[in-house]
Amino acid sequence: MSVHPNTQAVRIQTERTNEKEHSTPLFLTSSFCFNDAEEMRAAFAEENDNNIYSRFSNPTVQEFIDKMCALEGAEAGFATASGMSAIFGTFMAFLNSGDHLLSCSSVFGSTHTIITKYFKRWNIEYSYADIRKPETWEALIRSSTKMIYVETPTNPGLDIVDMEWLGQLSKKHNIILVVDNCFATPVLQKPVQYGADLVLHSATKWLDGQGRVLGGIVVGKEKLIRELYLFCRNTGPSLSPFNAWVLSKSLETLDVRIQRHCDNAEALVQALEGHPKLNWIRYPFHPSHPMYAIAQKQMTRGGGLVTFDLKGGVESGKKFMDALKMLSLTSNLGDSRSIASHPASTTHSKLTGPEQLEVGITPGLIRISVGLEYSGDIINDILQALEQC
């Protein structure tokens, strides 16, 4: 019987043990035993599917991977200890000395650090492309370009990449297309449908949804995941079984949570529209968004993140943050609790002023990760904080 991916996220489960448990079991073990020497030999020779060591594979981790593959429509996957280990592992598994990476310029701060600071150690070159000028991308492709890497929506500017166009571009030049789908989640968009070869997530964010555990995952074409697996198996960024168990249970409520996040985000945008303390509001499904038409084409809803620019710049940003009474001040996002952050002084502080502006980070930019609280309480806290800045 064919079932919806949201049903699979609830029903995919590790094979029931002799205890006949209803909730999925947790295999909290570092290694696995064998009945005899021949079975052990065959496992190491990959002649059977036996688990060997939890750095290689683990049933609880595999359950989380299987659910994510179902949700994203991907062939295979590999889970990692954090979102950044998923990103770094993807870079290192496929980029060699002399290769070139083409990336959107709007990327998470730690991703930017890897690209700009550490790539030079391995003689890997890169070019940053402007999401707002897609006509300039093809000219940046070289014979040595092996990967195109994008976030959509981007962090924190919420710019949107046209994945259908980018999928065609990467296919034309035979380049691996990697999409960070962290902000949208597979509930709102599925990059594989538009030609992405690999899709990755910081599972720490919306996938967990309650700010409890770290985790990362990459899903996509089986052949590429096999290469990633071999690299990560030997370098060790494996996801802990306990965190995988938490994340697998979290996926059972992912669709329900994301819909509520979207409801609250839409209510917040409506309440803030035209506010005299703001220069602008940015939300993918608001008609004022410059990529509104693209967002509507490839996303089902706008997501749980809202950004706005305060008049008064950095000082107004500090006053706003300090005036909040309910919202949390933390660098995380995708939590059940609403969160406010000031990217210019935190997550993207490693960028220079001009670099921040290039990727849409203004001095007064505030990013709100809209939580699951009653929408009126979220709105009231933000409105009273705005009055004080």
Euclidean distance between the first and the last CA atom of the chain, given in angstroms as a whole number: 57
Under DSSP, is residue 313 helix (H, G, I), strand (E, B) or coil? helix
Residue 297 has pLDDT above 80, yes or no: yes
Contacts of 125 by beta carbon, 8 Å cutoff, 6+ apart: 98, 99, 100, 101, 119, 144
- The pLDDT tens digits for 317-368 are 989 999 999 999 998 999 999 999 998 877 777 777 787 877 778 989 999 9
Q: What is the CA radius of gyration of the chain?
A: 21
Q: Which amino acid is at 92?
A: M
What is the spatial distance between Cα 42 and Cα 159, in angstroms, rounded to a whole number? 49
Specify the domain boundaries for CATH 3.40.640.10 within the chain: 5-251
For residue 304, the model assigns a pLDDT of 98
Q: Is the pLDDT of residue 89 over 80?
A: yes
Q: How far is CA 111 from CA 3, 142, 330, 368, in A?
A: 36, 21, 19, 21
What average pLDDT does this structure show over 63-91? Answer: 98
* In the predicted structure, residue 145 carries a pLDDT above the cut 90: yes
Q: What is the DSSP string of 81-101?
A: SSHHHHHHHHHHHH--TT-EE
- Is cis: bond before 156, omega within 30 of 0? yes
Query: What whole-number distance in Å separates Cα of residue 203 and Cα of residue 238?
Result: 13
CATH architecture of 5-251: 3-Layer(aba) Sandwich (3.40)
Could you tell me the pTM of the whole model? 0.95
Q: What is the pLDDT of residue 236?
A: 96
Q: Which one, of 285, 181, 183, 232, lies nearest residue 79 by Cα? A: 232
Looking at the chain, the domain(s) classified CATH 3.90.1150.10 span: 254-387
- What is the chain's mean pLDDT, rounded? 95
How far apart (Å, rounded) are the C-alpha atoms in residues 209 and 333? 9
Model pLDDT, residue 361: 85
| Amino acid of residue 59 | P
* Mean per-residue pLDDT, 180-198: 98
CB atoms within 10 A of CB 233: 16
Length of the chain (residues): 389
Superfamily of domain 254-387: Aspartate Aminotransferase, domain 1 (3.90.1150.10)
Compute the Cα dihedral for 11, 17, 21, 23 and give only its sign.
Answer: negative
CA distances from residue 79 to 6, 9, 111 in whole angstroms, order as listed: 20, 16, 18
**Quick check: 17 pLDDT over 80?**
yes
Residues 267-289 have pLDDT tens digits of: 999 999 999 999 999 999 999 99
Residue type (1 letter), 56:
F
